[in-house]
Each structure stands twice: as structure tokens, then as C-alpha cells.
Amino acid sequence: MNIAFIITYHGSAYNGFQKQPNTPTVQNTLEKVLSDLFLSPIKTTPAGRTDTAVHADNQYVIAPLPIKFCKKLHLITTPPLTGYEKLRKILNNRLPATIYIRHLFEVTADFHPRYTAHVRLYTYSLLCPPYFNISAPALTHSYRYPYWLDKDILIQILHAFEGTHDFTTFASARDSHPSKIRTLYKVDCIERGAELSIELYGSAFLREMVRSIIGNALALTRRLQKNPPTSPHLKKEISSRVKQLLAKKDPVAAKARVPGYALTLKHVFYTPIFQPQKLRLPPQTAALPSENCTH
């Protein structure tokens, strides 16, 4: 019986999602609670492996749970605690305050949280000076950018990343995926007082990809602020510089990173929300990349 979990977690307490020996991770913590409850090893599979300190509002995880054990402990219930609500409450009582299970439901055997996902949405919270009316959560979930920021230039730079590209330059050198081709469908920037919320919708993301894109976009913004091209040439200059960085296919060319504690995996979409885009791949590239999501 495959059960899907939709979980929220505060990433600052963990060294990423993925299971690792002798270090606190979200997967280590979740699997230990499940294994202790069911008295047997339980393995989980996530929609994406968020990086150190990165949060999630709606991370999808599946785990095979023994149905006989569930029925024996009356974990599959009838009203007033319908379906898996009793199991959800038991698990939440055993989990630390930094992890919370929002929903539980049964899925078919062919459902895979990573490979059947169509779109991932990550958000990055940026505080721009002058800092006024900062909320308490923003102190730990937002990056306080120390310089004056021309938001219009930043937004134009971020839009230049939209589309299907080889994002090798903007991935960690430790990223092990053989193909670095990904589609960034859309970037939105929403201002809320001093906060700039950057939303990135993508097919999947490479390790450190979001933090690299935003970090290098901020660095390029600062350079263009110091030596701005004339207005008619700004868009062309931005497009040219982003294309040059993408063409290098070398992470050393784009070293800037923003911190992970301001990044959140906001949602995973399992139905298409954007029109399919045709990939223009070189002739030697025969297959599409596996759509893994790592940060």
C-alpha cells in the first residue's frame, strides 16, 4: 500500500532532505518515526531533495506502508477521523515541531512523486533596503540583501533565464545528473513592502540551481547599476550576458550563491500548468533529462 505524504518542514534544522549518515536530515527523521511506529524499516521517496536549510511548504513523499499493520492498529479509520487522519495525527505527535504532515492519502503503484511531477515552484524571499516593517518570520526566512537594488534590472535579468537551457553553469559542481537541460517556465517577482518574493516555476531544478541563478542575477544587477547601458540597449545587454554564462557550461563561471534559508519548495504540480515547450537539442542528444529536483 503506497501512501503519499504532503509535508511542511523548517529546513534550518536539517542538513537537507536526503538521507545521510550521522547528520540530521528530513528523510532520516521521517523514516525513523515511520520505522519505529511500524516496527520495520520504512523507506521514503520524495518529489525533490532540498538542500541544507531549504524549507518546504508542500513536499510530496511516498512510502510503502503495511496495510495489515494499519488495520490491526485501526490506523485506517471511519468518521469522525476519516481515511488516514488518525495515522496523520499519530505521526505528527511523534515528529519534531520542525516537520508537519499536512495530508495523507493512498496512491496507485505507478505514481512516483519525482517522475510524474510536471512543475516545481520554488520561492525566494529577499529583503531590500531600506528595511521597514519587517515581520518576525522574515528575520529567519528572508535574505537581507545589503545593497541598494534596482529591482527593474533584476527582474529583467531573471526573465532572461526563462526557457529550456543547459544550466550546467548554474548547478553545483557536485551535481551528478548526466543531463543539465532543464526548463524554467516562468519567473515572477512580487513586492510586499521591503520583501521581494521571487517565484520560479520549472520542470525540475539541479543542485543549487535556484540559489545560483538568483545569486548571479544579483551580482549582474550590481554591475549594471554601476555601469548602466543606455535604456534602449539594456535588454539586449542582459540577454547577451546571460547567454554567455549559459554557454560556458562551467559552474566556476557563476560562483555567486544566495543562502538557502530564504528558499522554499512551495508546491509540486502533478498536472500541466504550462503549454509544452519543444526542446531544441543538439543532434547528438537523443533523450530528455530525468526530471529530478535537487537543491
Residue 227 has a pLDDT of: 84
Residue 278 has a pLDDT of: 46
Q: Which fold has domain 119-269?
A: Alpha-Beta Plaits (3.30.70)
Outline which parts of the chain fall under CATH 3.30.70.660.
119-269
Average pLDDT across each block of 10 residues of the chain; the chain has 295 residues. List them in order. Answer: 94 95 96 93 95 96 83 61 80 97 92 94 92 76 93 96 97 88 95 90 95 97 88 88 96 95 96 64 38 51
Q: Which residues of 177-191 are buried (b: 16+ CB within 10 A; e: fewer)?
A: beebbbbbbebebee
Residue 86 has a pLDDT of: 86
Outline which parts of the chain fall under CATH 3.30.70.580.
2-107
d(CA 109, CA 286): 28
Which overall architecture, per CATH, does domain 2-107 show?
2-Layer Sandwich (3.30)
Q: Up-side HSE of residue 158: CA atoms within 13 Å toward CB?
A: 26
Residue 82 has a pLDDT of: 61
Residue 244 has a pLDDT of: 96
Q: Which of 36, 51, 110, 250 is catalytic?
A: 51
Query: Is 57 noted as a catalytic residue in this protein?
Result: no
- Cα–Cα distances in angstroms (integers) from residue 233 to residues 159, 228, 238, 246, in the given order: 16, 10, 9, 20
Residue 285 has a pLDDT of: 36
Residue 85 has a pLDDT of: 86
